[in-house]
Structure 1
Amino acid sequence: MLRTLDIRDMLIIERLELDFRSGLNVLTGETGAGKSILLDALGFVLGWRGRAELVRKGADQGEVTAVFDLPQEHPARQVLREAGIPAGDELILRRVNAADGRKTAWINDRRASGEVLRAVSATLVELHGQQDDGGLLNARGHRALLDAFAGHDDLLAAARAAWAARGATARRLAAAQAALAAIKGEEEFLRHAVSELDTLDPQPGEEATLDAQRRLMQGAEKIRQDVARALQALGPEGAEGAMRDADRWLQGAADRAEGRLDAPLGALDRALIELGEAAQGVETALDALSFDPRALEACEERLFAIRALARKHGVLPDDLGGFAEELRARLAALDAGEGDIARLEADMAAAEKAYAQAAARLSEARQASAGRLDAAMAAELAPLKLERAVFETQIAPGEAGPEGGDAVAFTVATNPGAPAGPLNKIASGGELSRFLLALKVVLARGADAVTLIFDEIDRGVGGATADAVGRRLARLSETAQVLVVTHSPQVAARGNHHFRVQKSVSDGMTTSEVVALAVDQRRDEIARMIAGAEVTDAARAAAEALLAG
């Protein structure tokens, strides 16, 4: 609810502070007094497009501040959260227009862009009038208005959920198809590479082992002859034979040497033992150095094959086994991909069917609700002297989306037999205002989160029709704050709060001000609206009758 509006140095307003309340707030005044300027100032602080030149002549800047009550569940809070602006129990909008044209806005003392300002204001205020092309006349919003009237929130929720499930399934199917297509492009490579790797079957550490074996076999041929000669020199034809001859000769002489050869013979025995161990070790080494040349060739072939395959795939030889597992997994995905695609396609068909059913149920409900809306509009139009007009909610196939696939448009034919068309194309100015009022009354449902502003919506009507307009505005104000700019005494008399806009000239400067009227002042203002410049007793009596109800 709009609580206060503070205007400084805007057009012909020098300083003006207004306190609005719940219910029906009416603003009256003579033509040219500044009622439209008041709405221009409000539109400025709300970020609406309007006049280019707003700063009062001679002032450095103009400024407008609007204060709104902000209930806990108000939709403006979501906009503020997304913009990172703190929200309390009240919302303060302030906007400054410098004389050079620069405009700056604040929301709760935080600088705000025009985009954020307009997003917030869209949740706070609705303007209805003969130029209401952004509100009820905007066909893009008619489907949402019909849904709000119908109250089938459960069907809408089901359609949105089915649409979301359909989209999620479509994304999974597309991802699976793309992945399968990518793998299929390398299927030949995968199968050949896996075959190569499976045939070779390289093992971790094998490359190092083969390399060591190769080096050993390559070096064995060079040292084997020396080792064989050394073994021969140590054997019976060499050192061992000579030492055994020496032992035999010493043994024969020991009996006559009276113990002098015992120690040499012991040392010789020990030397023979050590010599035997040395010869055995050399013989073992010689056996190890013996190899089949074909074994070297086989070792080299496998070593080179492992190294070549590692280079081919850009991995280390020891990583070939893990790389083979990766390729096998991709092949398994390829082989399983067709089955996954088939399952996802079945899921997609089921999701499409579920969405189509949800959209069909929603469409059926809209068709039924459209009939109820048209009947309710017919009942509202008759008292507004539009009984010959035919209001029709047209529903046609549209683009599928989260809220179904219906295109909804409100149309009207002002005379029987005349073709129906959009409200703003068919209805005249006065008719259009009454259509919009009737539509707003019919669509109102519970407490409204926005302040409703009607700008001379009663233009061109009077008498019983104006009274019908006033009654409907009063009905709207029972659940929402309503501001109406009016020239109709019948409408003004229905107000809960009455403000008079008046203009004065001082020192050659014209200014506009707004006065909150007491009960007796209301009577005189309504009498002026009835009688004109000269207020008569009869006009006052008529005003009292209107105020009495």
Structure 2
Amino acid sequence: MLRTLDIRDMLLIDRLELDFAPGLNVLTGETGAGKSILLDCLGFVLGWRGRAELVRKGASQGEVVAVFDLPADHPARGVLAAAGLPVSDELILRRVNSADGRKTAYINDRRASGDVLRSVSATLVELHGQQDDGGLLNARGHRAALDLFAGHDGLLAATRSAWAARAAAAKRLSAAQAALAAVKGEEDFLRHAVAELEKLAPEPGEEDRLDTQRRVMQAAEKIRSDVVRAAQMLGLEGAEGAMRDADRWLQGAADRAEGQLDAPLAALERALIELGEASAGVEAALEAMSFDPRALEACEERLFALRAAARKHGVQPDELADLTQKLSDRLAALDAGEEGIATLEAEVAQAQARYQAAAADLSKARHAAAGRLDAAMAAELAPLKLERAVFATLIGAGEPGPEGSDAVAFTVATNPGAPAGPLDKIASGGELSRFLLALKVVLAKGADALVLIFDEIDRGVGGATADAVGRRLAKLSEGAQVLVVTHSPQVAARGAQHFQVAKSVADGMTTSRVVPLAPEARVDEIARMISGAEVTDAARAAAQSLLAS
């Protein structure tokens, strides 16, 4: 619900604060008094497109603040949360327009983009008039309006789910067909490459391992002769033999040396141990350096084969094993491709059948709902003096999509036997207003989340018809807050709250003001609407009668 509207320095308004009530709020005033200005200001704070120049002459900037009450389940809460804006039971929209044309929007005291502001306002306010119809004249919105009236959310959800499953299956099939076509173009290459690589059987890390082995064997060839000579010099024919001879001679003399040879003998024993370890290490190295020359040749052949294959395929040698697997997989996909395509085609056919069944159920429900909607419209049109008009909801074949395959259009024939056609092509201005009002009353389900604004929707009607319009607006306001700009006393008399818009001139400056009317002033205003500039006693009596009814 719109609770307050605060306007400063906008158009002809210098300062205005309005408090709105639940139910039906009516705004009246003489032509040119500024009723449209009030709607322009409200549209400005909601982010709607409007006049380019809004700042009051002589002011540096204009500002509009609108405060809404948000119930716990109001859809605006989801929009605010998605935008990362504060969410509470009170929603404050503020928009500033500087004299140079810059516009800045705030939502709950946080800067907000125009797109976010419009997304929020779309959940708050809906405007209806002869030119701004909230989409009811646009056939593209008729299917959604019929679905809202019917309330078959479950069927819609099932159809959307089936459409998504069908689209996913078709996407998988398309991807598989494209992949198969691409692979078929390189079948000869794949078979040759896979055969060659599988024969080579490369392994990850094999190139580094072979390169190390090759370098070790090459180095062994160069140093082995030196190591052999060193082993001979360390052995029994070299240092070890000489040291053992020295040990034997010293052992024989130690008994007569009075202990002088004990230390040398101990050192010699340690040296023999170290010499033995050195000799064993050299022998082990010689063992490791022993290889068959044919092994070096085989190692080099394998290494060069791996490197040649890597260059041929434009990869690193370590990537050959992975490449072999990838090419094998593509070849396997080619060999199994036709079978896979057939499986996917069957999945698409099954998904299409499920979608068609869901769409058929939805279409059946829509046809039934169309009959109920037409009957409801007939009941609404009669009191609006359109009893001879025939409203019909036409359902035909449309482009399949997430919401089914029906094309829905609201048509009307204003006289028996006359051809039916779109609302805005067949109905006159006054008739169009009443058709739109009747539609809105019939489609009012869920409207309690919205503030409904009707801008002179009663234009061109009077008398009993205007009274019927007023009754319909009052009925609509039982489930939603409604704001009506009207010239009809019958409509004005139905308001729960009545505002008068007037224009005044002071010190050469024209301003518009809006005031809530007390009961006495309301009688005078409705009397003015009845009789014109001169308010007569008869007009006052008529006004009181309207208010009493």
Instruction: Please name the residue that 2:498 is paired with.
Output: 498
Conserved? CA contact 2:389–2:412, under 8 Å: yes
CA drift of 1:316 comes to 5.9
2:169 is aligned with 1:151? no
Q: Quickly say closer, same or farther: Cα 1:208–1:370, change in 2 above 3 A.
A: same
Residue aligned with 1:308, SS: helix
User: What pairs up with 1:523-534 in 2 under 5 angstroms?
Assistant: 523-534=523-534
User: What pairs up with 1:414-429 in 2 under 5 angstroms?
Assistant: 414-429=414-429
Q: Quickly say closer, same or farther: Cα 1:198–1:38, change in 2 above 3 A.
A: closer
2:512 is aligned with 1:512? yes
Q: Quickly say closer, same or farther: Cα 1:411–1:206, change in 2 above 3 A.
A: same
Residue aligned with 1:448, SS: helix
Write the distance in 2 (CA, Å) between the matches of 1:176 and 1:123.
Answer: 43
CA drift of 1:51 comes to 2.1
CA drift of 1:473 comes to 0.3
Write the distance in 1 (CA, Å) between the matches of 2:491 and 2:168.
Answer: 53
Instruction: Please name the residue that 2:244 is paired with.
Output: none
For the aligned residue pairs, the C-alpha RMSD in angstroms reads: 3.4
Residue 533 of structure 1 aligns with an amino acid whose one-letter code is A
Q: Quickly say closer, same or farther: Cα 1:65–1:201, change in 2 above 3 A.
A: closer
Deviations 1:86-131 (A, max 9, x none): 2211111112222222222222222222222222211111111111
Q: Quickly say closer, same or farther: Cα 1:541–1:298, change in 2 above 3 A.
A: closer
CA drift of 1:495 comes to 1.0
Deviations 1:219-238 (A, max 9, x none): 89x99xxx9xxxxxxxxxxx
Instruction: Please name the residue that 2:251 is paired with.
Output: none
Q: Quickly say closer, same or farther: Cα 1:432–1:194, change in 2 above 3 A.
A: same
Residue aligned with 2:449, SS: coil
Write the distance in 2 (CA, Å) between the matches of 1:90 and 1:397.
Answer: 45
Instruction: Please name the residue that 1:538 is paired with.
Output: 538
User: What pairs up with 1:172-183 in 2 under 5 angstroms?
Assistant: 172-183=172-183
Instruction: Please name the residue that 1:441 is paired with.
Output: 441
CA drift of 1:482 comes to 0.3
Instruction: Please name the residue that 2:135 is paired with.
Output: 135
Write the distance in 1 (CA, Å) between the matches of 2:438 and 2:343.
Answer: 53
User: What pairs up with 1:381-400 in 2 under 5 angstroms?
Assistant: 381-400=381-400
Q: Quickly say closer, same or farther: Cα 1:35–1:420, change in 2 above 3 A.
A: same
2:148 is aligned with 1:161? no
Write the distance in 2 (CA, Å) between the matches of 1:142 and 1:83.
Answer: 29
Instruction: Please name the residue that 2:116 is paired with.
Output: 116
CA drift of 1:410 comes to 1.4
What TM-score comes out, normalization by structure 1 length?
0.81
Q: Quickly say closer, same or farther: Cα 1:355–1:543, change in 2 above 3 A.
A: same
Residue aligned with 2:175, SS: helix
Conserved? CA contact 2:126–2:134, under 8 Å: no
CA drift of 1:20 comes to 0.4
Residue 430 of structure 1 aligns with an amino acid whose one-letter code is G
Write the distance in 1 (CA, Å) between the matches of 2:307 and 2:103.
Answer: 72
Deviations 1:314-341 (A, max 9, x none): 5565765554344333333333333332
Residue 150 of structure 2 aligns with an amino acid whose one-letter code is A
Instruction: Please name the residue that 1:26 is paired with.
Output: 26
Conserved? CA contact 1:492–1:498, under 8 Å: yes
Residue aligned with 2:526, SS: helix
Residue aligned with 2:410, SS: strand
User: What pairs up with 1:16-165 in 2 under 5 angstroms?
Assistant: 16-165=16-165
Write the distance in 2 (CA, Å) between the matches of 1:368 and 1:396.
Answer: 14
Write the distance in 2 (CA, Å) between the matches of 1:18 and 1:306.
Answer: 86
Instruction: Please name the residue that 1:432 is paired with.
Output: 432
Q: Quickly say closer, same or farther: Cα 1:215–1:60, change in 2 above 3 A.
A: closer
Identical counterparts, % of pairs? 77
CA drift of 1:133 comes to 4.6
Larger Rg: 1
Instruction: Please name the residue that 1:190 is paired with.
Output: 190
Write the distance in 1 (CA, Å) between the matches of 2:76 and 2:183.
Answer: 49
Residue aligned with 2:412, SS: strand
Q: Quickly say closer, same or farther: Cα 1:361–1:206, change in 2 above 3 A.
A: same
Residue aligned with 1:364, SS: helix
What TM-score comes out, normalization by structure 2 length?
0.81
Instruction: Please name the residue that 1:478 is paired with.
Output: 478
Structure 1's unaligned 5+ residue stretches are: 228-238, 240-281
Write the distance in 1 (CA, Å) between the matches of 2:193 and 2:501.
Answer: 88
Residue aligned with 1:352, SS: helix
Residue 4 of structure 1 aligns with an amino acid whose one-letter code is T
Write the distance in 1 (CA, Å) between the matches of 2:307 and 2:32.
Answer: 95
Q: Quickly say closer, same or farther: Cα 1:451–1:209, change in 2 above 3 A.
A: closer
Q: Quickly say closer, same or farther: Cα 1:210–1:424, change in 2 above 3 A.
A: same
Instruction: Please name the residue that 1:351 is paired with.
Output: 351
Structure 2's unaligned 5+ residue stretches are: 229-236, 238-282
Write the distance in 2 (CA, Å) between the matches of 1:22 and 1:539.
Answer: 28
Conserved? CA contact 2:133–2:436, under 8 Å: no
Write the distance in 2 (CA, Å) between the matches of 1:37 and 1:82.
Answer: 32
Write the distance in 1 (CA, Å) between the matches of 2:28 and 2:190.
Answer: 84
Instruction: Please name the residue that 2:372 is paired with.
Output: 372
Write the distance in 1 (CA, Å) between the matches of 2:470 and 2:101.
Answer: 39
CA drift of 1:168 comes to 1.7
Write the distance in 2 (CA, Å) between the matches of 1:191 and 1:142.
Answer: 58
Write the distance in 2 (CA, Å) between the matches of 1:509 and 1:103.
Answer: 25
Conserved? CA contact 1:474–1:494, under 8 Å: yes
Q: Which moved more, 1:85-94 or 1:450-459?
A: 85-94
Conserved? CA contact 1:210–1:303, under 8 Å: no
Residue aligned with 2:4, SS: strand
Q: Quickly say closer, same or farther: Cα 1:306–1:424, change in 2 above 3 A.
A: closer
Residue 488 of structure 2 aligns with an amino acid whose one-letter code is S
Write the distance in 1 (CA, Å) between the matches of 2:77 and 2:304.
Answer: 71
Residue aligned with 1:353, SS: helix
CA drift of 1:189 comes to 2.5
Write the distance in 1 (CA, Å) between the matches of 2:93 and 2:166.
Answer: 41
Write the distance in 2 (CA, Å) between the matches of 1:307 and 1:421.
Answer: 78
